[in-house]
Structures are given as C-alpha cells and as structure tokens.
Structure 1
Amino acid sequence: MRRALTLSLLAAPLLAAALAAGGQAQQLGSDIPKTFKPVDGAFDFERRSVDIPMRDGVKLHAVIVQRKGLTDAPIVLQRTPYGAESATQRESSSHGAMTVRASDAMLLDAGYIRVYEDVRGKYGSEGDYVNERPLIGPLNGTKVDHSTDAYDTIDWLVKNLKNSNGRVGIIGTSYDGMMAAMALVKPHPALKASVPMNPVINTWMNDDDFHGGAFRLIGFDYYYGQDAAKGNAGDLWRDAYDDYDVFLRAGSASDFVRSHGLQQLPWINRMLAHPAYDAFWQAQALEDILPKQPQTVPTLWVASQWDQEDIYGAIAAYRAVSKVDPNHVNHLVLGPWAHGGANGDGSTLGAIRFDSDTGLWFRREVLLPFLDAHLKGDGAGDTLAPVTAFQTGSNRWQTLPTWPLACDATCTAPMTKLYFAGNGALDWNASTANGRDSYVSDPAKPIPYRLRPIRPTYATGSTWRQWLVDDQRPFSDRTDVLVWQTPALTRPVAISGAAVVDLLASTTGSDGDFVAKLIDVYPAEYTDKPEMGGYQLPVAMDILRGRYREGFATAKPIAPNQALRYRIVLPHANHVFLPGHRIMVQVQSSWFPLYDRNPQTFVPSIMNARPGDYRKATITVDYGGAHGSAIELPVVAAK
C-alpha cells in the first residue's frame, strides 16, 4: 500500500513535466498495421489468393497452394461452397502439408498445384448463390452454370500459372463432387482427369433430400447453414436435446419450416413445392445428363458403401456413363466408408474394423497413380481396373471387370431369392405353406433411425457419421418390426450389387412407408472380437414411400386391405456373409426423424399433412409360394 502510494506521488510530477514540455498529451495511433507480411523464408510452400473473372464479369475467389520452387506441375482444382480460405488454413504452420487435410497433403508432396475456389455467391466469390444451381437449360435461363464456371476457371489457371504443365484435374467430395461431375459437361480441353467423390448426382433419387420418395427432415440443418448466409450461418437452433422430440412436436415438414422461419430460404421452398419426382427434379438428374456428353475425360467415381448422405450418386453416374464409354475412361471405386471416408482414416467405421487403413490404401494405390497417369503423363500409365471394390466381411480389395458384378434389379435375368417363411425364417426354397405376419404402425410413436437421444446432424456427440453400421438389435425386438433370418450359414454367401426386398403386403391405411434392412448377424459368440457377438450389422437399408409404388413421378393412394407388391431397391454393396453368420431381413414402416412420418392417410403432399391426418395402420406381409415376399440377392461366387 505504502509502495503504491509512493509510486503514484512520483508519477504525478513526471506526467506534469511531460505535458509542459510537449504542450499536449501524446497522440496514439493504431496498433494494427495496414498490412502485415509474414516472414516466410522457412515456409516450404507458397499460398496466394486470387479473383478469377468469369465470362459474365463475375469474379470467383480462389486460393492457390503449392510447394516452393515447383515447375512444370499439374493443377488439381476443387470448387466448393464451404470456403476456399478455410480449406487451406487447417493448421498454422510453415509446412504446407499441415495446412490442408491429409489427402490434399499427399498431392502437395507429390508436386501438384492445389487450387480451391469458392462457387459463385459463396464466401469470397461474387455473384448470386443458387443451391445446386442447375445446368443451363429449362431451369436456368442464364448463360452461366457450374460447367461454364469450371471451364473459365481452368482457362484462367493454365494461362496464368506459368509453372504449370497445362494439365488440370478436378476433385471434390459431396457438393464439391457434384462440381467435379458438372465440369464434365462441355469440358475444357485442359481438363485431363476428374474425381467425383460421393457426389450429389440426383438429390431426389436417393442422394441428400429424398429416398424412395420419403423426405429427409435432417436436411434442414444443412440448408440453413448453407443458405442463410454467404458464409456459414451456423447451427439451426433447437428446443429440445433429442431431435426425435424436436421433429415429433413440430408436426409435418412444413410445420417445422414455419416454426424456424425456413420459408425465407428459396431452396427449401422449392423442395416443399416438388414432393414427387417431377420435371423439376428430372431436368437436373446428372445420371441422365452426363451420358449425353462424349466420354473424353478420364474419371474416377468414388462411392462409399455406408454413405449416410449421397449413397446413390457415384454408382448411378458410373453405371450410366460406362454404357457410352467405348474408350473406357470411367472407373469406379467402392470403399467401406461413410460419406467422405476416403479422405481420412479408413481403418474402422463405428464398431466395424477393416484390418487396414482402407482410406490410405485408396489414396496411395488408386487415387495418386490415377492422377499421375493423366496429369503428369498422357494417360498411358493408367492401369486401373474398371472397378476397384472393397469386399466387406472378408475385408479385402478386389479388382472387377464391371459393376455390378452380379445381375441386379435392372437385369432381365433373375437374382437369387431368399423367401420369407413362417416363424421368422428365411429359406432358399419357396415354402408351400402360405402365411401372414402383421404389425401396427403408429405415427405417434415412430421408430427411431438411430439410438436416442438423437443429436442434431452436426452437433457434438452426434453419431450421424456411423449410424448406417449401428447394431440393429435395439430395433429388431420392437413389436412394429418384422424379422426373418436364415439358420447359421455353412458356406459363405457373397453379394455384389443392389439387393431388392420384394414385399407382398397390405395396409389398412391409404398410404404408408416400407423400410427394409439387409443385415449380417454375427455368431452369438465371436472369437475375434467378443463384444461383437450377435451384432446385427446393416449391409444395406432403404425406404419406399407407398404412394410411389407404381412410379416416382405421380403419387397414388394405396387401396386399403389389398395385397400389393412393393419393391424396395437397397443401396449397392460388396459383401460376404461368412460361415456361422446369418442373413436377416427387417421390415418396418417408419424411420424417424431421418424421414418425415407418413400419416398413413393419403394426402396431396405429406409435407403439408395436418395433425388429424396421422393415423395408426395395420401392415400385413404375405409369404409362401413362388410369388410370396422375398429378398432378391445379387449373389456371386465367393472366392
């Protein structure tokens, strides 16, 4: 106390003297310089931001990253709505490989120039943002789209990056994968390779927004974060911890939209206005558009067997373009991953392990050799098989001549059937005894799609990434889920393609959903990993909205109490059911809140259903005889 007082007394005359000498108090300037230039002599990379002009005068913001001293180098472009600047600032380091994710670090180390560009209207780019902007045509009357923007960007890069070799590849995952696919429409001559990974190809036909006609409620999180701000709008707010409660209390999809003000977002309004697969969606279907283009750009389509977001796109696009590809420039990879899993550690997914880092193997043994062959050479070194697929169950990579290896739902030859039978049995032979199993589906108590509490998609603690491999035992015991299974297998059963659950079923309602799950049941005691004993591993699962049983373009009511056929085509899988395991099929009528509840009363649009429309219904599945309910499996030889 005494010392502080003494210092104060001493400071007063000094301050007075300073004021007397200078005549006024010292003026303070800003501590922030107009520019700050890092001392980057120790950096092993160069990074710069540029604005690239498009044909309509709009400038798109891009970030260029490369090793110092690089010459005669190929370019790998990524076009993104998620922020080019942040993609190259993952760590603050003098080492370029630390500033980008692992897959990009591999490309930097291999001598590639990496370019990240904000799509028009997002982050640093000028222009208007249109979510999933359609290509020029009936839905886009302007003179620009993602194809022209890719063309103009590539043109600028090869003319202005003097240390490049003039060869460009484009790569991306999810939305960025869609950008890599759209660049194939009237491609720039310098585009020599494309890698669409888990791309959005048809957002109605089993990619992000609809599956089998059922609407994905959880997409509202994405569209709010993406469309409510030029950057990232953040997380959509909640009024409960468990999303099951949030969406059940809200009511219909439209009710949720109004309760959160989401009607301000044009894309959400467009989705609500087009619940069926009408001309709006059909005009944007890239699996129909791309085969009309000459197949000149070597393309590596990358799919994930357990992709929780875009499980449809890569395989659908590959199958479509490979039919008009005489020079075989298209390749397919199917890995044991979740969405984007090829970019990270692919050793495990949830409780499932694969005996190796499958993501690293793919990047080293497939991705880099493919890019090197076409971007550092003339393509002569491309020895990649048409299809490279990881076989789950046996945990090994396979090279295949085509996909699917077996016949599937689009073939004229029959697949191998497992017939539903009494006492919950699945049998290789059709039973001569007819039977029926029933359950009551209550929209007031829908079946959760993963264990509760269900956290929002991107929330801390969310299991969104792994839910497609979650143990299904918590659901198989419910009274509103039907279960059939084989005895323990005495020989391996391998499938390669898309299985189909062929239901002969009736409902007391005039509408309804059918969810089908193909499951690998582990032995009750499992030596390799005891905690996996009895695990019910989903191999493939999906949903069909009953109103679309005759076609997705037009909704039709279901005739109550009439046995009708419902064919649920499951996602593609490359899997072997091992001896000692069982093959199981589960059937149910809700999957909430991944998909909106079907009121089970026919209404013009389920998205606008009112509280009184939601009613219980009894669903009955018929079996027995050659035309009874069954699952059709794309069986191949187990090697």
Structure 2
Amino acid sequence: MKKTALASALVSLAGLVCVVSPALRAQNADASKITPDMIQTASDIPADWKQPQGGFDYVKRDVMIPMRDGVKLHTVIMIPKNAHGLPMLLERTPYDASGMAPNNSPHMADAVWSGDKDWADGSTILVWQDIRGKYGSEGKYIMTRPPVGPLNPTTTDDTTDAWDTIDWLVKNTKESNGNVGMIGSSYDGWTVAMALLHPHPALKAAAPESPMIDGWMGDDWYHYGALRQINLDYFSGQTSKQGEGQTIPRDSYDDYSNFLDAGSAGAYAEANGFKQLPWWNRFSAHPAYDAFWQNQALDKLLVAHPSNVPTLWLQGLWDQEDIYGAVHAWEALKTAGHGSNNHLVMGPWWHSQINRDGWNMGPLKWPGNTTAQFRRSVMIPWFNHYLRGTPLAKPLPEAMIYNPTEQHWDDFTDWKVASKQSLTPLYLQADKGLGFEPPSGSGDSYVADPAKPVPYLPRPIPAKNEDAWRTWLVHDQRFVVDRPDVLSYTTPVLSKTVRLEGAPIADLFASTTGTDGDFVVKLIDVYPGSDPNDPAMGGYELPISLDIFRGRYRKSFAEPSPIPANQVQEYKFRLPTVNYAFKPGHRIMVQIQSSLFPLYDRNPQTYVPNILFAKPSDYQKATVTIEHGADGRSAVLLPVVSDAASGH
C-alpha cells in the first residue's frame, strides 16, 4: 500500500472511531442501571432439577437398591398414578435401565420403549434395573457372571441380586400387591434364567425371551466350536466402559475385507486393544467346551436347580443371535420331568422381535402383527393369571409354535424333544439329487479356500446394517448356489406336503485333505419359479434351518482332535428347530459348504491348538469330499410327520 493511501485509510478509521465511540460511551453508561438480579456467578444448571409432573399419569422413582454384600444397584420404578394393589414386572439389564423409558412424555405408554408399551396401560408397575457394575449400578461387572461356585468364589451372582431386588421391591413398593414377574430378551433373558435358579417366593411368573443359555454350544459366542467373530464389537462395547463402549473401528465399509485382511480373529481383536479386556483374555484362553463353559451352561444348571415358577421360554424361528437357548433349556427341563410349569413358544421372528412389530420376517409377510397379537392375547393374559389371579380363556399348551407356510399358530400337547424324535433320512444322491430312497454313487468334492471364504450375505457386508443382520437367516441363497465351493442337492418338485415338526439333524460322511475344517449345512425351501401374487418370491431359496460345525469337535466338544487327512469321518449335529410344511410345487434343497464369513471365523484347515490365534501360514486350501455311497450315506435326518401324527 502506498504512503498516501495508508494515510487516507488512517484518517477514515479515525473518523469511524469518532462515530462509534459515543455509542460505546452510552453502553458503558448503562452499567449504572444494572441491578443485583441481573448478575449470575454460579452455574445456570441447578443442583437438583425437579420437573413438575402434575399432569403425568405415572410416577417415576430412581432408587439404589442394596444387595446382601452392600453393593447398590440402580433401579428405575415406573408406577401408574394412584396405583394400588398392582403387580410388578422386573427387567434386569446391562443396557441402561434409564433408557427403558427414553421419552419425556406425561403418558406412561408413550414414555417407555416398544417392548413395554402393551404393559404400560396403568395396570402394572414397571421396574428396570442396571445389573452389577453397569451404568448406574455399583460393583464389578463380569460378563454373564457365573453362579456362585467354582467360577465365582464370591457370595453374589445374578441369582442373589435378583432375589435381593425382589425382596426390596416387595417391602418398599406400597402400591404393589407383592407379586413380581420377570421378563427380558437376550442378555436380559439370561438374567431371568439366572433368577430361576433360586427364585424369590414373590416371583410368580417369568419369560426369558431368546435368552443366552450356552454361549459355546449355540448362542452368541460360538456354534459348535465355530467363533461368531462379529461379536467382537459386543465385547468392546460391553466391557471397555461401565456405560456403552465403542465398537471396533473399520478400515473398510465391507466387513468381509476387514476380517479377511486382519487374519485370525485373535489378531484382529488384539490389534484393537483387546488384551486390556479381562473378558477377552478369559474367553480366548478357552476355545474348547471345557469346564469354563460347562460350568456356565444354564440348561444344565436349571435342571440341577428346578423351580416351580411358571415360565414361558420364547424363541424366534429365525433368531440370528440366540437361536439355541430357549429351546434347549425347555427341552432339558421337560426331559428331567419339569414340563408342567414350563412352556415353549416359537414365533416367526428375528432376535428380540417379540418386543417390536411382527408383520413380516424379511420378505415373508404374515396376515397380522404376530408379535402384538401374541403379547396381547397370550403373554399378558398369562402373566396376569399368575400376578393378579385373572382367569385364562384357555390353558397355555406345552408348546405354541408358528407355522410359517400355513401362517398360523399351532398348539402342541406333546412337542417332542430332539432325543425322542422319529427321524426320516433325506439322502444326498448322485447328480446333486436329494431323496428319501437310499443313495448310490460315490461322492462330490469341492475346494475350500480360506482366502476366498463363502460369505453369509452378498458383499459388501457393512458392519452396521440392522435390517440385513436381523434377516440374514431368510436371505435368498441363490447368491451362492453357483459357487464351486458350495454343493447344492435338490429334490424333484414335491407332489405332496412334507411336514416337519422338530429339529433336523445333519449327518455327513466326509473326507478332507486338511487336518481340520468346518461344515455348514442349510435346509432350504425352493419356491416355484414364478409367483403371480408375489413375483419377488419366484424361485426364492429360503433357508428354514442351518448351522455350522467345527470338525475338530466331531468326537468330543471338550477335547478336540485333528481330522485324519483323506479319511472319511462322520459329522453329526443338530440344526435349529422347525415347524414347517414344504408345499406341493416346491422343492427341498440341502446346501453344504465350509465357511460362513465373516459371521464365523475362518478355519485354517490345518490343525492348530487355538484357531483364534492361527498364523497366516496355517491357512491352507483343502479338498473336501461329501460321501453318499458305500463310504457313507450323507443325509439330513428330518422330523417328518403326517397330518394324522401331528401333535397339534
């Protein structure tokens, strides 16, 4: 800038100051008019804000309930206004009790989360509690804290905490009638099952929904030894903070790439700081079904400590997270002679869908809202019968299971446990056929390559896609049918209905050039090629039951052993329970493969002591041969029933 221009600018600025200065002087002069009530030096946030609730139709109390060891658990109690003589419904959760009533509404039904809306009609006191060590509760959090005993040398567990909580509620909630019911899904269902090991006398009814019962055999952590590695996010989210921790950061949108690039599940976890997590260190040290897992198996513990509490065991037919627990707990109790107060309910639902709308399961549409209908017409009246003495329109059957093809509920007076089923072999045949007649031929082979595992959903598979995750068990399997490492066996078009009631059993005879390997078996309903009423379902390949089995456990879940290379071995394992009718015009398909990635970790196909920490060099291709001739008649054993023999 030239000197003359600079001088001109300074003159202009001085003039501006002269213009502004009187206004500033006037503003400063106004300070004499400031009164003491205008000045605030303390925080504008009051120490104890109380929202007026005169128009609310409920009263909400936040309390800390003392346990027998002095630890206090944060509990939220929602009481209908002017309540008197009402029962209480308790849910114990690691997922933030305060979040169960997330909406600041004066109306109870609008304030609570979706799972409790049908309960919030002014007739029930709702109680939510943070379990020990989570969110607002004191104490130490231990993942699915084992019962007091060999794995828990303390004097408290979730059984004692439930007992102490109910005892306090009965004595300190004057608006109640002294009767308590417990409900909860997934981990919350596990807390219900734990309470049943030594129930408080005031616990009159219970409903574990999709409960975690055996994390190794078939619920969240493993399925028959195969690691459900996408649950590593749950480990960090649940155990890195007392509140909600973070999931593992992703390099790629596609989890298939993320887990494949990481190598083993253990390498992926520990690269993301999991060595800091005590739960991971215990978990990863016990890949086999040893005493660590056996002493936590709740189906066995429930039989050893049976209760007289009427119990509804609820399960989704396509539960993508905990498809094992409720069915096996109910079967164990029935087999041990405790069937009279235990009932099994299986709806056409994904995990915890019982607490949300149930109009459909992915592409499968139902004639009504199956979850709301069940809650209102069956579950709540059943609870009311035991909590307030109202009569039932009809007794609840032993088992109540939805039939997805005929789209109605079936009541069973004698639902067969798996060990008592009558099974019909559906044999793998030559030329990829499938039939009830004995097979001929030799076998079929494929190359299983750990570098190119079979995905469980079409790629890309994002880490966070709730809709895809919830419904993956009903995804159309045509996306893998042409892969060379997937064998698909199909019946001719059915001329009559094939009705199944029970648990199919996979019975494979197979050899591999490796020394370990996984086997995935899917039972599939193949729809006719066209459907004028629903064109998108034309040719649909609907899985109705599938699971994975880790080959090293073919002889013993507790003591794994290498697979002898090139020798035929039998792999026999149970598939999830069904109540299903294959219709005329459809076909039945069985698919077999060696991976279901990245949901399950890759088997290196070389025997190593702990697959979680397999090295890159351990992952080797293997040729797998599925026999269906003289060396072994591979089949899926089906619980086929005639209409006359059906138990409903």
Q: TM-score, normalised by structure 1?
A: 0.95
Partner of 2:48: 35
Partner of 2:63: 50
* Secondary structure, aligned partner of 1:207: coil
Residue 470 of structure 1: which of 469, 475, 479 is its match? Answer: 475
Q: Which runs of 5+ in 1 are unaligned?
A: none
Partner of 1:142: 154
CA distance in 2, matches of 1:84, 1:443: 43
CA distance in 1, matches of 2:35, 2:105: 45
Give 1:544 shift: 0.7
Write out aligned runs for 1:512-531 (5 A): 512-531=517-536
Q: Is the 8 A contact 1:374 1:382 kept in 2?
A: no
Q: Is the 8 A contact 2:511 2:626 kept in 1?
A: yes
CA distance in 1, matches of 2:334, 2:441: 43
Q: Is the 8 A contact 1:495 1:636 kept in 2?
A: yes
Write out aligned runs for 1:123-134 (5 A): 123-134=135-146
1:422 aligns with 2:430: yes
CA distance in 2, matches of 1:396, 1:286: 31
| Matched AA of 1:32 | I
Partner of 1:151: 163
Q: Is the 8 A contact 2:422 2:639 kept in 1?
A: no
Partner of 1:552: 557
CA distance in 2, matches of 1:22, 1:346: 62
Q: Is the 8 A contact 1:66 1:108 kept in 2?
A: no
Give 1:594 shift: 0.9
CA distance in 2, matches of 1:463, 1:46: 39
* Secondary structure, aligned partner of 2:89: strand
Give 1:47 shift: 1.0
CA distance in 2, matches of 1:598, 1:355: 42
Give 1:15 shift: 2.6
* Secondary structure, aligned partner of 1:139: coil
CA distance in 1, matches of 2:498, 2:47: 68
- Which has more radius of gyration? 2
Partner of 1:363: 375
Give 1:30 shift: 2.8
| Matched AA of 1:418 | L
Partner of 2:451: 444
Partner of 1:223: 235
1:169 aligns with 2:169: no
* Secondary structure, aligned partner of 1:571: coil
Q: Which runs of 5+ in 2 are unaligned?
A: 1-14
CA distance in 1, matches of 2:631, 2:502: 23
| Matched AA of 2:473 | L
Residue 540 of structure 1: which of 526, 545, 559 is its match? Answer: 545
* Secondary structure, aligned partner of 1:528: coil
1:65 aligns with 2:78: yes
Q: 1:499 to 1:126 in 2, by over 3 A?
A: same
> Residues 445-503 of structure 1: CA distance to partner in whole angstroms, max 9, x if unpaired?
101111111111xx256611110110000011100000101111111111111101211
Write out aligned runs for 1:119-518 (5 A): 119-325=131-337, 328-377=340-389, 383-404=395-416, 408=418, 410-411=419-420, 414-431=422-439, 433-456=440-463, 459-460=464-465, 463-518=468-523
| Matched AA of 2:53 | D
Q: Is the 8 A contact 2:317 2:578 kept in 1?
A: yes
Write out aligned runs for 1:108-123 (5 A): 108-109=120-121, 111-123=123-135
Give 1:627 shift: 4.8
Give 1:569 shift: 1.5
| Matched AA of 1:450 | L
Give 1:18 shift: 3.0
CA distance in 2, matches of 1:390, 1:5: 85
* Secondary structure, aligned partner of 1:111: coil
Give 1:216 shift: 1.0
Q: 1:402 to 1:12 in 2, by over 3 A?
A: farther
Give 1:17 shift: 5.3
CA distance in 2, matches of 1:538, 1:418: 16
| Structural RMSD (CA) | 2.2
* Secondary structure, aligned partner of 1:388: strand
Aligned residues: 630
Q: Is the 8 A contact 2:427 2:634 kept in 1?
A: yes
Q: Is the 8 A contact 2:89 2:125 kept in 1?
A: yes
Q: 1:172 to 1:7 in 2, by over 3 A?
A: farther
CA distance in 2, matches of 1:595, 1:611: 17
Q: Is the 8 A contact 1:373 1:382 kept in 2?
A: no
| Matched AA of 1:522 | Y
Q: 1:25 to 1:564 in 2, by over 3 A?
A: closer
Percent identity over the alignment? Answer: 48
Q: TM-score, normalised by structure 2?
A: 0.94
Partner of 2:96: 83
* Secondary structure, aligned partner of 1:232: coil
| Matched AA of 1:348 | N
Q: Is the 8 A contact 2:199 2:307 kept in 1?
A: no
Give 1:625 shift: 6.2
Q: Is the 8 A contact 1:454 1:462 kept in 2?
A: no
> Residues 259-310 of structure 1: CA distance to partner in whole angstroms, max 9, x if unpaired?
1011111111111100000011001111000012233101010011111111
